Amino acid sequence: MSDRSWPAPAKLNLFLHVLGRRPDGYHELQTCFQFIDLCDELRIERRPDGQIRRSAGAAGVAAESDLSVRSALALQRAAGCTLGADIDVQKRIPMGAGLGGGSSDAATTLVALNRLWKLDWGVDRLAELGLSLGADVPVFVRGHAAWGKGSENASLRCTRHRRLLSVTT
């Protein structure tokens, strides 16, 4: 991986329990996430002019709706950063399959730009910003399997390697 190429891994929910509906309309969930080898690839280059541009992304998703662009803009605003980025998302994770592709792309963008813009933000600060983009984003920012309920997730160490097969259509 170069400084310009970043893998954004998919995840599986090893189990998913719907606890109820929140006042905002989203469901309260309890789950266990495990990252898998399937990844989108993000190519990100720093721009000196402050523009955030997406050169490639998911088919049918407008740039302003793309979570990688939205996360870049959120970080730029929160950090008061005058730098920009060119973002190229090569989608390999199927959209709408529950594998977390958009959330992973958002988290990977936050981590990559934190490094490329030399912001030196800690993981907790990036995860907090990521939560404003989606409930799964902080898990991807932290980069570990996790057990959790809602936005409260704890890292989980998997001590056994298991082979899983995920079939999506």
53 domain residue, yes or no: yes
169 domain residue, yes or no: no
40, 86, 136, 149: which one is catalytic? 136
Average pLDDT value for the chain: 84
Q: Give the CATH number of the domain where residue 18 resides.
A: 3.30.230.10
| 66 carries an active-site annotation | no
Residue 140 identity (one-letter amino acid):
F
11, 40, 66, 105: which one is catalytic? 11
For 106-122, what is each residue's pLDDT tens digit?
999 999 999 999 999 99
| 136 carries an active-site annotation | yes
Q: What percent of the chain has pLDDT over 90?
A: 47
162 domain residue, yes or no: no
Best CA proximity match to 128, nearest among 117, 141, 118, 119: 141
pLDDT at position 161: 56
Q: What pTM did the predictor assign?
A: 0.83
Sign for the pseudo-dihedral over CA of 114, 49, 85, 139: positive
* pLDDT exceeds 80 at position 137: yes
**Which segment of 75-84, 102-111, 142-151 scores lowest on mean pLDDT?**
142-151
Residue-number span of the structural domain to which 40 is assigned:
5-155
Q: How many domains does the chain have?
A: 1
114 domain residue, yes or no: yes
